[in-house]
Amino acid sequence: MLKNIFLDVKKKFETALGVLRKEKITIAPEDPAAVSQYANVMKTVREKADLFSESQRIAYTIETRTAGIPDARTYLLTLKEIRERRGLIDEHGAEAMMMDALEKVEKEIKKPLMRNDKKGMALLTAEFDKINKKLGIRKEDLPKYEEQLELKIAKAQLEELKKDALEAMETQKKREEFKDEEMVEVKSLDVRNFL
């Protein structure tokens, strides 16, 4: 079993490297075109190597971590914990609104809301729909939000690559044999040469 897992991971790794060897990556996190191109390369890597996108990974985590939770309150608290562990920010304060909605529904039904309570969950879903409307969040816009998340991640990864490349060049420059060499601009580096 371990051998099969190892072979699967090895195959995915080799597939990812194959894509990265073909695609040019410009290390320029300040350039929106470079960020978009990098995001597309990483999307290709995920598709060809059969890897999860960040939103798919979050959905999978939610699905597995909440599978056995019977009540809505624990479910929402678990979602909050997952969000915090992932380093995602609740920019709109939606979590607090969702907890307020849960309080309202539980007050109305006069007991803790269980996830298998179809009537109670319908009430909670209606409250969540009101919150989404208030925040301007529409279900049909979810792919757009997913794309924005992928671009944010791509930019952060490019910033990290740039930082690492600058550090490596600074270290090289301190060595005696490279003192006379001029440092190249990070965005002129071709990542394919380093794979």
138-155 per-position pLDDT tens digit:
889 988 988 988 899 999
Its pTM stands at: 0.73
Measure the CA–CA gap between 168 and 102, rounded to whole angstroms.
51
Res 86: pLDDT? 85
102 pLDDT tier (thresholds 50, 70, 90): very high
DSSP state, residue 27: -
1-28 per-position pLDDT tens digit:
889 999 999 999 999 999 999 998 989 9
For the chain, the first-to-last Cα distance in angstroms comes to: 30
Instruction: Report the share of the chain in percent with pLDDT over 70.
Output: 100
Q: Where do the H-state alpha helices sit in the chain?
A: 2-22, 32-49, 54-66, 72-86, 94-109, 118-135, 142-174
Determine if residue 135 is left, alpha or beta; phi over 0 gives left, psi from -120 to 50 gives alpha, anything else beta. alpha
56-94 per-position pLDDT tens digit:
999 999 999 999 999 999 999 999 999 999 888 898 899
Q: Which residue pairs, CB below 8 angstroms and at least 24 apart, start in 80-83? A: 82/58
Domain parsing of the chain, residue ranges: 1-51+141-194, 53-137
Please report, as a single letter, which amino acid is at residue 117: D
Number of Cβ atoms within 10 Å of the Cβ of 167 = 10
Measure the CA–CA gap between 60 and 163, rounded to whole angstroms.
31
